[in-house]
Amino acid sequence: MTESRPIVEIGQIVSEHHAAVYRYAFRLVGTVCDAEDLTQQTFLAAHQNLGQLREPAHARAWLFTILRNAYGKLKTKRTPLLAESYEIDLNSVAEELPAEPLVDPQRLQEAIDELPDEFKLVVLLFYFEGCSYREIAERLTVPTGTVMSRLARAKARLRAKLFEPEEAPISVSAGNE
Amino acid sequence: MDHEPLSSEVMSALEACRPGRQDEVLPEVANRVAQAPPAQVARMRRSLERVDRAIMAAMEQVPVPAGLAERLLERLAAADQGSHELIAHEETGSVLTCAEPAAGRAPTWAKPWPLLAGGALALAASLLIAVAVWPRESLQLADMQTQIRAFYAADGHSAAANSARSAGGSAPTGLGGVSPESVVGRHAIELFARGGIAYELAHRRTRGTLYVVPLKAWRGPTLTGLTAIPTAHSTSGTTVVAWTDNDNAYFLVAKGDSRAVWAFFPRNAVS
C-alpha cells in the first residue's frame, strides 16, 4: 500500500511564507541583515527536511518552529540577559491603559530587543503566532505557570516602553518565577 | 467601587488571555481571576485586549526587503546542486537542521572552529598588509593562480560578475568566485569599521571562512597590490587568500594547506 502524502514544493512555500518568516525573524533579531540570514537558514533547513511537513496547511507553524530553533542556536553566540535577573513588579504597572493605543513599530522593536530571550520568545509566540499560554508551554517545554509569569512581565515591560513617558520601575534581583 | 489594584497573580492570568479568545475559562486563569471583583477583571480584560490588538498589528509592520524570495530561491537552488556537501555537513552537526542536535553527539568540527574563526580576522588584517608588500612571484601557489585564471577565462565568469549584490542596502552578498555550493552558513561581521558578511564554507572535511567586505568608503589599510587573482599565503597550518573585484575585498581563511583553499572554488576550474 502506498502512502499518499501531499507533494509540497519548496518554491511554493518560499513564495507563500517568506514574508511572514522574515517578519518573525526581524522581530527576533532586530536587524535587516541578521533577519535575512535567519530567514535563509530557516528555508534551507526546511528544504532539507521537507519530508517532515506532512500537512501543507501547517507549513507556517512548521517554518516558525524551524526559525525558533535556528534562533536558539544563534543566541548562544551572544551574551544573554538572564530572565532570572529581569524582574518587574506587576503591582507597579498602572491599571490605566491607553484607550486608543497607537504602537510605533520601531519603538516596539526597541522594546523587544531589550527583552531577555526567554521573554522574547514567549512574547512572539503570543503576539506573532497567536499561541495560548498552554501552547507556548508545550512548544518551549516549560510549565504553564512559568509561561504566565514571563508573559505578564514581558507584556508589562513592552507597555512601559510603548505607552509610558517614563519607564516602569525595574529592579534587578535574583528573581523567582 | 473597586480601587484596590489587581494582584500580580490575577494580572498574570489576565495577561495570558489572548484577545478574542475565551482563554479566561481555562482552569489556570479562572482559578486566579476568581479572587478579584468581576467588574474590575472585566474592565482590565477589555483594556488589555485593546492594547494587545494594537501590538499584534504593529508586530506585522515590518517591511520585507525587495527580492528576498528570489534570493532565497537562488540559495536553495545552489543548495540543491551541492546537496551532498550539505547532507554530509548535517551529519556532523550543522546549524542548518530542523531538529535540536541529538544529546551527546558533539559536532566533529564545530569545536575547533571558534578558535580558527577567532584568529581569522587578525589573519585577514595581517594579510592586507602582507599582500601589499609581497611580490606575486614570491607566493607559493602559482599553479592555483593559473587555474583560477583559467576558470575566469574558460567559464565565462569574472570577478566582476560575482561582485557584491546589496542585501538590505549595505551588506555584500557576492562570493567573488567561490563556489556557492560550499556555503553552509552566513553571518554579518564588521571589519575595519565596514559591515560585511562572513560565509562559513564546507567541502568534504575542509572548513573555511570567506570574509566579504565592501570597498566603498574603506577605512582600513591601503589595499595596494590586492588583485583580482586570489593570492594565497600559508602559515602555521592555516591558509589565507585575498583578492578583490573592485567592489569588495575577499579574504578566505581555511585550516590546512593551499589544496584546502582550492576546494572552495568551482571544480571545473581545476580541469
Interchain pair B86, A48: CB under 8 A: yes
Residues sharing a CB contact under 8 Å with residue B81, sequence separation 6 or more, in sequence order:
B180, B181
Which residues, numbered 80 to 99 in chain A, qualify as contacts with chain B under a Cβ-Cβ cut-off of 8 Å? 89-91, 93, 95-99
Instruction: Inform me whether the pLDDT recorded for A77 exceeds 70.
Output: no
Interchain CB contact of A22 with B (< 8 Å): yes
Burial of residue B92, with CB atoms counted within 10 A of its CB: 0-12 exposed, 13-18 middle, 19 or more buried: middle
Interchain pair B187, A37: CB under 8 A: yes
Residues sharing a CB contact under 8 Å with residue B137, sequence separation 6 or more, in sequence order:
none
Q: What is the mean pLDDT of residues B225-239?
A: 73
Residues sharing a CB contact under 8 Å with residue A124, sequence separation 6 or more, in sequence order:
A24, A27, A28, A112, B59
Which pLDDT score, from 0 to 100, does residue A137 have? 94
User: Contact, A59 vs A67, CB < 8 A?
Assistant: no
Round to whole Å and give the CA distance between A52 and A61: 13
pLDDT over 70 percentage in chain B: 56
Interchain CB contact of B22 with A (< 8 Å): no
Interchain pair B98, A156: CB under 8 A: no
pLDDT in tens, B121-175: 555 555 554 444 443 333 333 444 444 444 334 333 333 333 333 333 334 557 8
* B6: chain A residues, CB-CB within 8 Å: 95
Interchain pair A152, B15: CB under 8 A: yes
Amino acid code (one letter) for A89: D
Q: What is the mean pLDDT of residues A44-58?
A: 87
Which pLDDT score, from 0 to 100, does residue A143 have? 94
Which pLDDT score, from 0 to 100, does residue A52 have? 85
Q: Which residue has the higher pLDDT, B169 or B120?
A: B120
Interchain CB contact of A108 with B (< 8 Å): yes
The mean predicted confidence, pLDDT, of chain A is: 80
The model's confidence at residue A4, banded by pLDDT at 50, 70 and 90, is: low
Q: Which residue has the higher pLDDT, B209 or A167?
A: B209
Q: Which residue has the higher pLDDT, A45 or B158?
A: A45
Q: Which residue has the higher pLDDT, B188 or B157?
A: B188
* B48: chain A residues, CB-CB within 8 Å: 97
* A38: chain B residues, CB-CB within 8 Å: none
Of A122, A159, A127, A129, nearest to A144 (Cα)? A122
User: Contact, B207 vs B200, CB < 8 A?
Assistant: yes
DSSP conformational letter for B232: E
Q: What is the mean pLDDT of residues A57-73?
A: 91
Which pLDDT score, from 0 to 100, does residue B128 have? 52
Strands (E), chain A: 87-88, 170-171
Which pLDDT score, from 0 to 100, does residue B106 have? 30
Joined together, the cell numbers standing for residue A26 give: 526581524
Residues sharing a CB contact under 8 Å with residue B229, sequence separation 6 or more, in sequence order:
B145, B148, B149, B243
pLDDT in tens, A84-96: 444 444 444 445 5
DSSP string, A94-131: -S---SS----HHHHHHHHHTS-HHHHHHHHHHHTS--
Q: Between A and B, how many residue pairs show a Cβ–Cβ distance under 8 A? A: 173
Angstrom CA distances, A21 to A28, A59, A68, A136, stand at: 11, 11, 10, 18
Round to whole Å and give the CA distance between B134 and B113: 29
